[in-house]
Amino acid sequence: MDKYPTSLHQRLCMAVITVVMACTLAFPALADDLGANKAELIRGLLPTVVNISVKKEEFTTPDPATVAATVPQPEVPANIKNYVGSGFVIDPSGLIVTNYHVVENAFEVTVMFSDGNRMSGKVMSASRLADLALVKVEADHPLAMAHWGDSETLQVGDQVFAAGNPFGIGLSVSAGIVSGLNRDIQDSPYDDFIQTDAPINHGNSGGPLFDMQGKVVGVNSTIISPTMGSVGLGFAIPSSVAHFVIDQLRTYGWVRPGWVGVKVQQMTPEIANAMGMTRPEGSIVSWVLPDGPAMKAGLAIGDVIMRYNGSVLSDERALLRSIAHTPVGETITLLVRRDGEERGVPVPVEAWPRNQWEARDAPSEVQRPKTIIPPDLGLSLSPLGKEDRAQAKLENDLNGVLVTSVAANSDSARRGMTSGDVILRVQDLPVVTPADVRSGVDSARAHNRNFVLMLVMPKVRKVPGPKWVALQVAAAGG
């Protein structure tokens, strides 16, 4: 009678051992399958990735702090440089996406494919602000093309891999994860970079960042590094932005973003304090273009935009991107806070005037007699003369007060103000003399505000229009 239970026990143990062994043997087989599948996926994508070499005449020196992922090549005349970058095919007819800075000012473009075939390329259209360009090659056969993915579904920790031409050594692949999203590296007012630790080096610019389904979720464009090599801080333009820009370039030859004629900036704790708000929310309007859609709809300087079409956006960059991506002719609804009350404002979206979109300027510094108003802000001010207005390229209907110098280590200097800036308003009142500035500051003190709000037209501005600056002031009697 003892034999049957013992036999059953032995059989059960053998069954358990068999299952355990089967499971143990299955794991390495599964790992091998995954590795093989990944290698097969990458091999299938390599024909869509290209190396791009260009010849440029040198005019400027790159910014050493934020280094574009291109690399100069030796053995060329002193004023002619060879550079290499990357790209990827988006249409079998020969359309290739790359970064604008790869082909900027290039008088010769050569595209090399993974099979070693070389073709002459031509820049069809480009966007400096978006740092994207379309290059065309004339192929005698349909080319393998990459497919866009959805960067909006990416999460920190997702696996990705980058393909390109690092240091000009040839087509290479590097793997990593998404390290961060919506990164602002001060490259444009629309920054929304994907950060990845997949090694990106000089020469990777313009190459694709693939997800694990083989879709393009980003365009590798920039690294931040104290050295010439990757330190794990690589940045890619998300496909949601790149796809929009490239479609616009293909259709219109330029980006043609949606436009309402308004400039906004992120609400900060200092600005919120100056406005009497309990906490920072939304984006504050710093400028409304005369006769633009926003002005006609009733938006005003100092309004705080809380929502876009019912959605709360992460920051002012997200708001600007949403407006830019809105199809021309549609009407958006902005929830606006003014004087403590909120109301919806419908605003029709027009096409951004092309000359304004592309315009850039850097006015030279104007020397003027110094008048210190007020001393604790560290600002030297003078009335705005005719010559100053011309130097600052101000509209004829704009008035203000010229900043002639900014004291070192002052709060004004820390907030980025510099000589050549023009103060247009203090709090919500226009100013035309240094005395007006003093009066506005005194009024802020009288209301026991820790900060005073100034609308400033910067001497050097990446985009047209002024910005709000909140400067720290001593409270009344302090």
Q: What percent of the chain has pLDDT over 90?
A: 35
The pLDDT score that the predictor gives to residue 187 is 59
Express each pLDDT in 142-189 by its tens digit: 999 999 999 989 999 999 999 998 888 888 899 999 998 878 766 566
Residue 477 CB contacts under 8 Å (≥ 6 apart), including other chains: none
The pLDDT score that the predictor gives to residue 64 is 45
> Is 131 designated active site?
yes
- Choice between 31 and 438, residue whose per-residue pLDDT is larger: 438
- Choice between 272 and 19, residue whose per-residue pLDDT is larger: 272
pLDDT of 261 > 60? The answer is yes
The pLDDT score that the predictor gives to residue 424 is 92
Q: Which CATH superfamily is domain 363-472 in?
A: PDZ domain (2.30.42.10)
Confidence of residue 15 (pLDDT cuts 50, 70, 90): very low
At 318, list the tokens. 């997200």
Cα separation, 423 vs 462, in Å, equals 18
The pLDDT score that the predictor gives to residue 189 is 60
Low-confidence winner among 138-147, 205-214, 365-374, 425-434 (lowest mean pLDDT): 365-374
> In Å, how far are 147, 225, 226, 417 from 63, measured between CA atoms?
33, 12, 12, 21
Q: 418: burial class by Cβ within 10 Å (0-12, 13-18, 19+)? A: middle
Please report which residue ranges of 216-257 form alpha helices under DSSP H.
Answer: 239-252
pLDDT of 97 > 90? The answer is yes
Same fold, 46-255 and 363-472: no
Cα separation, 196 vs 156, in Å, equals 9
Q: 101, 125, 202, 221: which is the annotated catalytic residue?
A: 101
Across all residues in the chain, what is the average pLDDT? 80
Q: 125, 205, 239, 405: which is the annotated catalytic residue?
A: 205
Q: Where are the domains of the chain?
A: 46-255, 258-357, 363-472
Record: fold of 258-357: Pdz3 Domain (2.30.42)
**3-state DSSP percent of the chain in helix, strand and coil, to 5:** 25, 35, 40
Residue 385 CB contacts under 8 Å (≥ 6 apart), including other chains: 368, 402
Residue 149 CB contacts under 8 Å (≥ 6 apart), including other chains: 210, 211, 213, 215, 216, 217, 239
> Is 101 designated active site?
yes
Burial 437-468 (b: 16+ CB within 10 A, else e): bbbbbeebbeeebbbbbbbbbbbebebebbbb
Q: 86, 125, 127, 131: which is the annotated catalytic residue?
A: 131
pLDDT of 324 > 50? The answer is yes
Express each pLDDT in 413-425 by its tens digit: 878 888 889 999 9
Cα separation, 438 vs 336, in Å, equals 30
- For residue 56, the number of C-alpha atoms closer than 13 Å in the C-beta half-sphere is 21
Q: What pTM, to 2 d.p., does this model score?
A: 0.65
CATH number of 46-255: 2.40.10.120
Cα separation, 435 vs 117, in Å, equals 70
> Is 322 designated active site?
no
